[in-house]
Amino acid sequence: MDVTIPHQRFTLPNGLNLLVHEDHRVPVVSVNLWYRVGSGNEAPGGTGFAHLFEHLMFEGSAHVPAGQFDRLLESAGGSNNGSTSTDRTNYWANVPSSALELVLWLESDRMGFLLETMGQEQLDLQRDVVKNERRQSYENRPYGLAWETLTGNLYREGHPYHHSVIGSMADLDAASLDDVQRFFRTYYAPNNASLAIAGDVTAERARALVEKWFGELPAGAPPPAVEAPEVGLPRGIRLTMEDRVQLPRFYMAWHSPAHYTDEDAALGLLSSVLAEGKASRLTRRLVYEDQLAQDARAFQSCATHGGAFEVVVTAKPDVGLGALEEVVREEIERVAREGVDEAEVERALTQVEAGFVHALQRVGGFGGKADRLNEYQVFTGDPDFVRDDLARYERVTPAMIAEAARRRLVDAHAVTLSVVPEGRRDLGAGETV
């Protein structure tokens, strides 16, 4: 497949990168802003700051009173959202094309003038919001602490991915106004951002408006580089966690390559072969044949400083997780030993291609054209990388999948985590002694 996102690229004197994709089919435009800062940029004792600013950015700036950002966008018929990951924070707004200048003004004001109105009251309010979000999504949700526990053991202390994106309660409580303001000055500057505009606008008009609203914002000092130590598990780690759940759930995670490599693509297709759809190997065996599990999932989760290949299986009531682990290991070893069928690879590749095509039907939102342009610009330096990204998957052969399974999974150590109902540690797959 030949996929492209035609665009023009500009760089302002202050370092802000601008990407413009024209699509005049409907009078809608998307403004997508990425900052090169995520939880991986946080220092020990200061976790959760990047995600905290995802909230603070909506609390008003010098010329936009608190609560007005959303009100102004909604009154113009727009919608917006944002997210934080290990390596970036993004914000996007989809609006009628007539409201483009409004969005650019709003974004430039919080980039350049957020700290002029951010005080202790705003910090305390949004700190409480984030802490409550952590309670809802982690402490008080079934299986909510599983991923934090899994990745915290996969990446040792000192690695930028050791802690969760949302941060710890202790670090959020300890964050002072000076700490938070210093974090903003370090990372939220034009030269540490990439702005993509896609939709019903010409490149000339987009550039003129961006220069008008962002051109006078000063560049910041280059942010400190992220130091990521070598990863690897000298031995397997086995953990059991009791939780307020009814069904036991089994997790496995191995170190895997960073994003955009061919091996990353091979493992991505392997995850589909193992657990995507009723015909996938783990789903067919665990759910339908042996009837040990409710469901099975697999992921190749990748980022700048490494990836993780993960398998998650939810057992049926009272099924021991050791039996699930045995099947998971058997099926992965079978792939490494015997390979996969061409038909399995073709089915997995079709799913990847369909995902690309579906995402690129939209100019905005998560995964849309503006978001993809920024993703490739920030992570590869090449906004045209969409064609190469898809080509990685099209190059994958059955032999490459078998080799990736052998090298990254069979011949490597894993973190295994059993989450079991309270008082039922006997259902776990075992713990490291």
**Domain residue ranges of the chain, discontinuous segments joined by +:** 8-214, 237-427
Cβ neighbour number for residue 2 with a 10 Å cutoff: 6
- Say what the pLDDT of residue 313 is: 98
**Length of the chain measured in residues:** 433
Residue 194: φ, ψ to 5°: -135, 130
- Say what the pLDDT of residue 431 is: 87
Q: Are 310 and 301 in contact (CB under 8 A)?
A: yes
pLDDT digits (tens, 9 = 90+) for 120-141: 999 999 999 999 999 999 999 9
**Residue written as token pair 């030949």:** 2
Q: With pLDDT > 70 as the criterion, what percentage of the chain qualifies? A: 100
Contacts of 358 (CB under 8 A, 6+ apart): none
Q: Are 286 and 293 in contact (CB under 8 A)?
A: yes
How far lies 109's CA from each of 92, 134, 139, 211, 228, in Å?
15, 29, 35, 13, 33
CA distance 239 to 252: 10
8-214: CATH topology is Cytochrome Bc1 Complex; Chain A, domain 1 (3.30.830)
CA distance 385 to 7: 12
pLDDT band, residue 261 (cuts 50/70/90): very high
Q: Are 109 and 56 in contact (CB under 8 A)?
A: no
* Over residues 155-169, mean pLDDT: 95
Q: Are strands 306-315 and 249-256 parallel, antiparallel or unpaired?
A: antiparallel
CA distance 250 to 174: 34
Q: With pLDDT > 90 as the criterion, what percentage of the chain qualifies? A: 96
237-427 and 8-214 share a CATH fold: yes
* Over residues 255-265, mean pLDDT: 96
Quote the radius of gyration of the chain (alpha carbons, Å): 23
* Over residues 211-234, mean pLDDT: 96
**Residue written as token pair 């949302």:** 166
Structure tokens at 266: 């091979």
Quick check: 258 pLDDT over 70? yes
- Say what the pLDDT of residue 94 is: 97
pLDDT band, residue 433 (cuts 50/70/90): low
- Say what the pLDDT of residue 2 is: 77
Contacts of 2 (CB under 8 A, 6+ apart): 387
- Say what the pLDDT of residue 42 is: 97
**How many degrees, rounded to 5, is the angle at CA 91 between CA 89 and CA 95?**
170
The pTM of this model reads 0.94
How distant is the alpha carbon of residue 33 from its chain centre? 15
237-427: CATH topology is Cytochrome Bc1 Complex; Chain A, domain 1 (3.30.830)
Residue in 281, 297, 289, 295 with CA at minimum distance from that of residue 347: 281
Across the chain, mean pLDDT equals 96
- Say what the pLDDT of residue 432 is: 77
**Residue written as token pair 């309660």:** 169
- Say what the pLDDT of residue 3 is: 87
Q: Are 259 and 303 in contact (CB under 8 A)?
A: yes
